[in-house]
């Protein structure tokens, strides 16, 4: 067979393999489904560069469960070329494009104001046109009347805070007190904020991670080179818009960014425990060094620091469990045991700034 004919035959298979490899996958946790959501995106209907159907196709390639096209309400740089008096148009096009697809399209918009309050996304609304009002607080109140879940976008954006430090203002405190602000982006595009994480923890706000994509996902996050978009993992009772909203309202979220997981320990630990399972354990010959096979069935490569009573035979202290793979570690138990526990601090997971959760693995022969 001629080489170019063989290549033509293989291209569809290679494309399918690439699509499968790029899908973002995390296991469910006890009692909840783990849904992968990107809830801050733009198209040409505000200041993005693509038509809404492209956002749908990107999400399907990445195995995303839900997206929201949160077009700027007040900032419309393409309106001379694409006039659209109906601010719901982007949502309508995406909804039609995703018809019969396994993707939830959430109706959202971005309330785009100077600081304070800055930029905020509101989700689960019914009519974005009604958010076009002069008073920023009234825009948030209208979002709430429509059943909106609203979160503060990129609070550490240097265009608003040149030092990159997220800070609550009196207006933000008012929004929280009136139950008009429910979440905060700890991760936006390529950036992360310790201060935003503190604000989330101190004020019981949902911890969010978003791509805030304007161009192409593949270009910005180097998906072909092994990168991934930032997302919010929402722990929902069902895969539906209602399930996602309930998860957000109850603050059941973890942000995934640059191979780091950020969230409350209540959800981080179950997620990591569900991701790492023990496949086998054996003692070769007369050795009392146990070979333990660990399976990582998530897309995060876990960096684990051994805090057990046992030392490792093949590593000084820190091990890496590659995503979607099996890793064997050697544990010096000093005697052959039917069962023992290993504890690890997860160095690429954060339950608070510079704080890492600890997991326990029970090893049974």
Return the domain boundaries, the chain. Answer: 23-263, 275-364
Assign 358 a pLDDT band (cuts: 50, 70, 90). very high
Rg of the Cα trace of the chain? 23
> What CATH number was assigned to the domain covering residues 275-364?
2.60.40
Q: pLDDT tens-digit profile of 51-66?
A: 999 999 999 999 999 9
What topology does CATH give the domain 23-263? TIM Barrel (3.20.20)
Q: Which residues contact 20 (CB under 8 A, 6 or more apart)?
A: none
Q: pLDDT tens-digit profile of 103-113?
A: 999 999 999 99
Q: What's this model's pTM, rounded to 2 decimal places?
A: 0.93
Q: pLDDT tens-digit profile of 61-102?
A: 999 999 999 999 998 999 899 988 899 999 999 999 999 999
How far is residue 312 from each of residues 5, 108, 306, 337, measured CA to CA in Å?
Answer: 51, 50, 8, 15
227 has pLDDT over 80? yes
- Could you tell me the sign of the dihedral formed by the alpha carbons of 216, 252, 323, 27, in that order? negative
Strand partners, 41: 69, 213
Q: What is the pLDDT of residue 315?
A: 87
42 has pLDDT over 70? yes
Evaluate whether 63 touches 25 at the Cβ level (below 8 Å). Answer: yes
Least confident residue range of 13-17, 43-47, 132-136, 302-306: 13-17
Residue 302, Cβ density class (10 Å: 0-12 exposed, 13-18 middle, ≥19 buried)? buried
141 has pLDDT over 80? yes
Same fold, 23-263 and 275-364: no
Which residue matches tokens 């309202």? Answer: 249
Residue burial 165-199, b: 16+ Cβ < 10 Å; e: rest: ebebeebbeebbeeebbbbbbbbbbebbbbbbbeb
Q: pLDDT tens-digit profile of 149-194?
A: 999 999 999 999 999 999 999 999 999 999 999 999 999 999 999 9
Average pLDDT value for residue range 242-262: 98
């Amino acid at each position: 067979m001629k080489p170019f004919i063989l290549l033509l035959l293989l291209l569809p298979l290679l494309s399918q393999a690439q699509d499968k490899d790029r899908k973002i996958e995390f296991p469910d946790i006890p009692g909840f489904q783990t849904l992968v959501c990107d809830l801050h995106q733009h198209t040409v209907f505000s200041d993005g560069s693509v038509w809404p159907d492209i956002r749908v196709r990107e999400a399907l390639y990445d195995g995303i469960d839900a997206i929201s096209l949160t077009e700027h309400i007040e900032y419309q740089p393409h309106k001379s070329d694409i006039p659209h008096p109906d601010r719901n148009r982007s949502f309508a096009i995406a909804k039609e494009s995703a018809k019969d697809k396994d993707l939830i399209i959430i109706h959202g918009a971005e309330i785009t104001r100077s600081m304070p309050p800055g930029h905020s996304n509101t989700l689960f609304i019914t009519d974005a046109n009604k958010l076009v009002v002069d008073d920023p607080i009234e825009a948030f109140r209208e979002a709430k009347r429509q059943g909106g879940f609203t979160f503060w976008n990129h609070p550490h954006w240097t265009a608003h805070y040149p030092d990159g430090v997220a800070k609550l203002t009196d207006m933000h405190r008012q929004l929280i007190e009136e139950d008009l602000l429910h979440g905060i982006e700890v991760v936006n595009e390529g950036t992360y904020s310790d201060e935003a994480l503190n604000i989330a923890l101190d004020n019981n706000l949902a911890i969010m991670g978003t791509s805030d994509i304007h161009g192409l996902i593949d270009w910005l996050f180097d998906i072909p080179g092994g990168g991934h978009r930032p997302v919010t993992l929402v722990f929902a009772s069902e895969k539906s818009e209602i399930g996602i909203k309930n998860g957000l309202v109850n603050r059941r979220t973890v942000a995934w960014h640059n191979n780091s997981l950020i969230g409350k320990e209540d959800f981080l630990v179950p997620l990591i425990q569900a991701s790492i399972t023990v496949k086998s354990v054996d003692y070769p010959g007369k050795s009392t060094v146990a070979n333990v096979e660990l399976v990582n069935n998530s897309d995060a490569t876990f960096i684990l620091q051994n805090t057990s009573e046992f030392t490792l035979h093949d590593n000084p202290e820190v091990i890496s469990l590659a995503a979607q793979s099996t890793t064997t570690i050697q544990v010096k138990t000093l005697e052959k045991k039917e069962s023992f526990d290993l504890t690890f601090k997860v160095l690429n997971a954060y339950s608070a700034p510079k704080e890492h959760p600890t997991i326990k693995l029970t090893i049974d022969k």
